[in-house]
A and B are shown apart, each in its own frame.
Chain A
């Protein structure tokens, strides 16, 4: 298998959960945001994803009650926009997800540094 493809697949897998976490904090920071806007914001923060990935994720998070959505039509423009905001349930989930992610990050730091690993023989 091509090594670059293997790395790409790994990136896709790791990004899947990471994206969901980042998205919750991004919307929480913005109070509310719509899809097109989120794509731009993620791109600015170096997490560029396709719209075909974002909208299904937003749809699922809304269905799970993590996000709430509200349609709005700007007076001067005809296109309706679906604004998302993080629910209380979503905020709790985001905190738990962040803690889990930090644990994993800490573990990775420990495993990847040059210090020796303590272990106990049974």
Chain B
């Protein structure tokens, strides 16, 4: 029998560790004596293998505990028990985390299915999945979720002087541009309830009014404009309807659709440009000096003559 048998050494090392607070010199004597016993047993009985000899002696922790108990010392807890204890702690902790997560998801994703026939939409898992009967008129236009709680903001301003310039920067919006009946600039918009914007700011500088809508995402606005104004409106994504404009328009968006419904009694000078998309309909430019200028530039999208499609 090799005196350095790994299994034997591991067994004795376990006992040595489990002996705990017993003096090192005493531990050495205990280990040496046990090792001597095991080797004697193996040499005396050739049929006896190491496993049987160790099994006869008992588990390392139990053997060590007998030494501790004989000395009136507290036996060390078996490492297996420690492992089970920590495994139990881990299991309880993991289950707790899952329980909290499940409660959070339950509160966030309820009701499971909500059918709103009035709006023609089905919301699943608390709105995580939102299916609507109404498809967006333009896929490139950012869809504004009408099911969200909205609030209305509005404003009116009397603009001094004629031929004023109105500049309206925006981000993403659905806009209807109409003629004002009282020659005032006014806007009525629906925006998301939790939007931080209280209302749009209107500032005037050098005969140019700036109605800043750039801080709001997904506004749905009806804007009325005085006659003969020069409107400059720029944004990223939009679905914009220009209804019988008695004003000049300089419109530029990256993505979206612009519908133009010209008045029969006015002449227009068109400059329509769609980089990726098309101009759908006939837009006949007039050479009349008093013709209203309609300049629209879209990177991706479509310009439609909505009068023809009525």
Binding site for B on A (CB under 8 A): 35-36, 50-53, 55-57, 59-60, 63, 69, 71, 77-82
Contacts and interface: CB of A to CB of B under 8 A. Distances in A.
Interface of B: 3, 26, 29-30, 32-34, 36-37, 39-41, 43-44, 56-58, 62-63, 66-67, 69-71
B37 A50 contact: no
B57 A51 contact: yes
A52 to B, nearest CB: 4
A35 B33 CA distance: 8
Nearest to B23: A63
A35 B37 contact: yes
Question: Which of A36, A50, A69, A71 gathers the greatest number of chain B CB atoms within 10 Å?
Answer: A36
B70 A60 contact: yes
Contact of A79 (B39, B57, B66, B69): B39
A79 B70 CA distance: 26
A95 to B, nearest CB: 22
Of the listed residues A50, A56, A69, the one surrounded by the most CB atoms of chain B closer than 10 A to its CB is A56
B3 A78 contact: yes
B70 to A, nearest CB: 4
B21 to A, nearest CB: 14
B39 A82 contact: no
A103 to B, nearest CB: 25
Contacts of A53: 66
Contact of B41 (A36, A59, A71): A36
A34 to B, nearest CB: 8
Given A35-B33, A51-B57, A56 B39 contact: no
A21 to B, nearest CB: 16
9 contacts: A35-B37, A36-B40, A52-B57, A52-B58, A55-B30, A55-B37, A77-B43, A79-B36, A82-B33
B66 A52 contact: yes
A56 B33 CA distance: 10
Nearest to B68: A56
A77 B67 CA distance: 28
Contact of B26 (A55, A63, A71): A63
Contacts of B32: 71, 80, 82
Contact of A60 (B3, B58, B71): B71
Contacts of B30: 55, 59
A80 B40 CA distance: 10
Of the listed residues B29, B34, B36, B43, the one surrounded by the most CB atoms of chain A closer than 10 A to its CB is: B36
B71 A63 contact: yes
B58 to A, nearest CB: 4
Contacts of B67: 55-56, 59-60
A47 to B, nearest CB: 17
Contacts of B69: 56
Nearest to B22: A59
